[in-house]
Structure 1
Amino acid sequence: MSFFALPSPRALRALLALAAALPAAAFAHTGVDGHTHLDFFSGFVHPLTGMDHLAAMVAVGLWSALAARRAGPELLWGPMGFAGMLLLGALLGLQGVQLPAVEPMIAASLLVTGLLVVARWHVAGIAAALIVGVFAVFHGLAHGYELAAAPSAWATLSGMLAATVLLHLAGLGAGWALRSANAWLPRAAGAVVAIFGVTLLARLA
């Protein structure tokens, strides 16, 4: 199959249906998914149940693997930038620092990371970290705001960061496995994430 091969019409319809269904599970940012006892475990589970966070984190890993020219430290710039700036955003949120357009920026992160996966755009070093890091700040802010009054904020945030790293690693592994197989599949996955972002942006408009 050539690099520009497209999925079948049936596969395209299934992907579009998936993208349309995803917004119902997005923006799960209140009350840390309803947990009354906040701890490492509840923080770990939270990014796995908010589809906006989950999709963005996996997409960052996918992009990093698909766009890399070789195995090595280059693979880690995107995930490290995202995780580090998410932590910074969470710390700002815990301190009550207010930034505008948090939810629109989270939605925009899905559009951008999805397009990065589709294009396999190679960006070297710290530039890759900065591209995704800008959006990660807003993901972190959303987490920080919801934890600002929690006595166990640090334990919960630690769980969130652990889940973030694992989601990045899952994306890296999937992206590396798909680098030379069924070229349309990672592109289709990126397109679903991008469409998800557009749908969320439209709902927020």
Structure 2
Amino acid sequence: MKSHVNRIVVLGFAGLLATTVPALAHVGTGVHDGFAHGFMHPFNGLDHLLAMVGVGLFAAQLGGRALWLVPLAFVSMMVAGGVLGFNGIGLPFVELGIVASVIAIGVLLAFDVRLPVAIAMALIGVFAVFHGYAHGAELPPGNDAMTYVGGFVLATALLHVFGVGIGLAFHKLPSASRVLAGRAMGGAMTVVGLVLLS
């Protein structure tokens, strides 16, 4: 059973990584429009992808109400950040904030940190603003704007669900294996974040 769960997790994570390109959030690099472009945007940067799956993993690590409140906080604040980006309201250190989210979530997972739900929501919400800003900065004008928003919101929610699913699969493992798996995932995220930072 344990090897079966491990195989599913590794294959699923590898599949997600295969859909990405080794780029950052690429604020301002061209105009994208429509639902499909919005949906693909979170998959176009390893930083976005890891952070969004990491939010789901972190929510599963906390358990209880955090399973839906932490991802909801991310999606809500991401939309708020998207409004800032779309309207050209300045937000400093966007790329740094996005990479910092990957590192911070990786550390939270690696050390099995159990924050109160409200604090976890606030922390994740702050990071989400930077991710949303990157999406909003590429939001197309006109009628396609809302379909673009729908696309990246749906993709984000699905990545959160995927992360929660992996996290809940870890809970079926023996305690020592669960902690080891969480540390391995968190450690890998942290290393990737530090590489992106450099």
Q: TM-score range by the shorter chain?
A: 0.7 to 0.9
Structure 2, unaligned stretches of length 5 or more? 1-19
Map 1:4-23; keep pairs closer than 5 Å: none
Cα deviation, residue 175, structure 1: 0.3
Does residue 190 (structure 1) correspond to residue 186 (structure 2)? The answer is yes
Aligned to 1:55, which of 50, 56, 72?
A: 50
Cα deviation, residue 140, structure 1: 0.6
> Structure 1 residues 188 and 85, CA, compared in 2 at 3 Å: closer, same or farther?
same
Cα deviation, residue 119, structure 1: 1.7
CA distance in structure 2 between the partners assigned to 1:142 and 1:150 by the alignment: 18
Cα deviation, residue 143, structure 1: 0.9
Aligned to 1:7: none
Aligned to 1:123: 115
The TM-score with structure 1 as length reference comes to 0.78
The TM-score with structure 2 as length reference comes to 0.81
Does residue 167 (structure 1) correspond to residue 159 (structure 2)? The answer is yes
The AA in structure 2 aligned to 1:53 is H
Cα deviation, residue 201, structure 1: 1.6
> Structure 1 residues 123 and 30, CA, compared in 2 at 3 Å: closer, same or farther?
closer
Cα contact 2:77–2:132 (8 A) shared by 1: yes
The AA in structure 1 aligned to 2:145 is A
Structure 1, unaligned stretches of length 5 or more? 1-22
CA distance in structure 2 between the partners assigned to 1:185 and 1:49 by the alignment: 26
The C-alpha deviation readout for 1:135-182, integer Å capped at 9, x for no partner, is 110011111112254651221111000000010010001001102422
Map 1:77-116; keep pairs closer than 5 Å: 77-116=69-108
The AA in structure 1 aligned to 2:138 is E
The alignment partner of 2:171 has SS state of coil
Cα deviation, residue 96, structure 1: 0.7
Q: How many residues align?
A: 175
CA distance in structure 2 between the partners assigned to 1:201 and 1:161 by the alignment: 25
Cα contact 2:140–2:148 (8 A) shared by 1: no
> Structure 1 residues 89 and 35, CA, compared in 2 at 3 Å: closer, same or farther?
closer
Identity %: 40
The AA in structure 2 aligned to 1:107 is V
> Structure 1 residues 29 and 65, CA, compared in 2 at 3 Å: closer, same or farther?
same
The alignment yields a C-alpha RMSD, in angstroms, of: 2.1
The AA in structure 2 aligned to 1:26 is A
Moved over 4 A (4+): 148-151
Cα deviation, residue 87, structure 1: 0.5
Does residue 26 (structure 1) correspond to residue 23 (structure 2)? The answer is yes
CA distance in structure 1 between the partners assigned to 2:89 and 2:31 by the alignment: 24
Cα deviation, residue 77, structure 1: 2.0
